[in-house]
Structure 1
Amino acid sequence: MPKLKIALIDDDSERVEFVKKTLIEHQFDVVACLMTDQLNAFYLQQIHADVILLDMDHPHRDIIESCVSQFDLPTVLFTKNGHKETIKSAIEAGLTAYIVDGIQPAKLDNILEIAIEQYKKHKKLLNDLHETKSKLADRKDIEKAKVLLMNLHQLNEEQSFQLLRKNAMSHRMTIGEMSRRLLDAQLLLSQSQFKE
């Protein structure tokens, strides 16, 4: 199994080198080692890691959010801070795992594997939710477009659906996309008539 590529981000300049050295000794591949005050969007985009490992005495929500949004990777925070509000804020910021303990390389493999699986599960749930919302939006738009066609051309429901489907296929788009185009065109026409 290939070694996990870790981007280590720390808020303690003395500790960061020690943690990096310890991780490397335990066969982890540390592809980046940054201080929290060195984070910038350009550099973050250059990092190719499997997981982000934050080691922070004082977790700040803005730093966590920055890491989560820039990397879009499993992000694990190690800290001594066990305050409930801090934990809640960090999880709301998108953290994958919050560990109230120092980094123990012997346990790290399991922690990171669990975090990666949690992250994958969370991403799948978000994708499923997005897909469901898109399907619901398509259904609503298709129904509106069918009613529009029925009113404009005195078609029944089946005929209007078939007309939508035929046009969607000929334009190589989904029925939902075709419905939105039709509704947008109708809105544009009704607005131009209103202005006249």
Structure 2
Amino acid sequence: MRVLVIAESSERADIVRRGLLLAGHETANVAAPDGPLPSAMEQARPDAIVLETHSPKIDLLDRIIDAMGEKPLPLVIFSEDPSEQTISQAVRAGAAAYVVDGLNAARVPAIFQVALARFELMTDLRSELSVAQQKLTERKFVERAKGLLMKARNLSEDEAYHTLRRMAMERNRRMGDVAKSVLEMADLLN
């Protein structure tokens, strides 16, 4: 795994690199927190990011998120700042691990592994949430379209459902998409 290390000092970056090497990971690049992060990301093409800083400021976290672009990456933060506000900001920014005063090369492999597992779990949960939200939205469209068909064609609820289902099968489309089309057509006609 290729890891971009963003560190305030070269000594602490070396500790991170030794720890990543112990874990069998490659340090793709070392960047300074105040440097051009988008170009560092483009050059390194990392699979994960480790940030070593005295205290991760919100603007730095925002710059890291912006540099990631559309592809979120696991983010591990080693910091000396134990404040609740800073930790909360780091977690909201996507940190999979936030370690206070724990930068030790021997500890990096386990911390990094936990962060990767947590990132994967959060990615799976976000995906499941997105699917559930899409299904709920489609269900709302189907219910509204059924109501419209029941009223316009004087159908029972079951007949309206089967009409939508048949339309979806004939058009080889999802039922939610067909229901949305029915609603859009009704809006055009009104």
Normalising by structure 2, we get a TM-score of 0.86
Q: 1:51 touches 1:112 (CA, 8 Å); kept in 2?
A: no
Q: Distance in 2 between matches of 1:25 and 1:114?
A: 16
Partner of 1:147: 147
Partner of 1:179: 179
Identify the match of residue 18 of structure 1 among 1, 14, 18. 14
Relative to structure 1, the CA distance from residue 41 to residue 166 in structure 2 (aligned partners, 3 Å threshold; closer, same or farther) is: farther
Q: Distance in 2 between matches of 1:166 and 1:10?
A: 59
Deviation digits for residues 52-100 of structure 1, max 9, x if unmatched? 1000112112322332451511100001111222112211222111000
Q: Distance in 1 between matches of 2:8 and 2:170?
A: 57
Q: 1:77 touches 1:95 (CA, 8 Å); kept in 2?
A: yes
Aligned-residue CA RMSD (Å): 2.2
Please tell me whether residue 61 in structure 1 is matched to residue 35 in structure 2: no
Q: Distance in 2 between matches of 1:28 and 1:127?
A: 27
Report deviation, 1:24.
6.7
| Greater mean deviation of Cα atoms: 68-77 or 21-30 | 21-30
Report deviation, 1:129.
1.5
Q: Distance in 2 between matches of 1:176 and 1:7?
A: 42
Gap regions ≥5 residues in structure 2:
none
Question: Letter of the aligned partner of 2:103 in structure 1?
Answer: I
| Greater mean deviation of Cα atoms: 144-153 or 37-46 | 37-46
Partner of 2:105: 105
Aligned positions, number: 186
Report deviation, 1:134.
1.4
Question: Letter of the aligned partner of 1:22 in structure 2?
Answer: R
Report deviation, 1:119.
0.9
- Structure of greater relative contact order (alpha carbons < 8 Å, 6+ residues apart): 2
Identify the match of residue 28 of structure 2 among 20, 28, 31. 31
Partner of 1:95: 95
Normalising by structure 1, we get a TM-score of 0.83
Report deviation, 1:174.
0.7
Relative to structure 1, the CA distance from residue 56 to residue 120 in structure 2 (aligned partners, 3 Å threshold; closer, same or farther) is: same
Q: 2:54 touches 2:80 (CA, 8 Å); kept in 1?
A: yes
Relative to structure 1, the CA distance from residue 42 to residue 22 in structure 2 (aligned partners, 3 Å threshold; closer, same or farther) is: closer
Partner of 1:134: 134
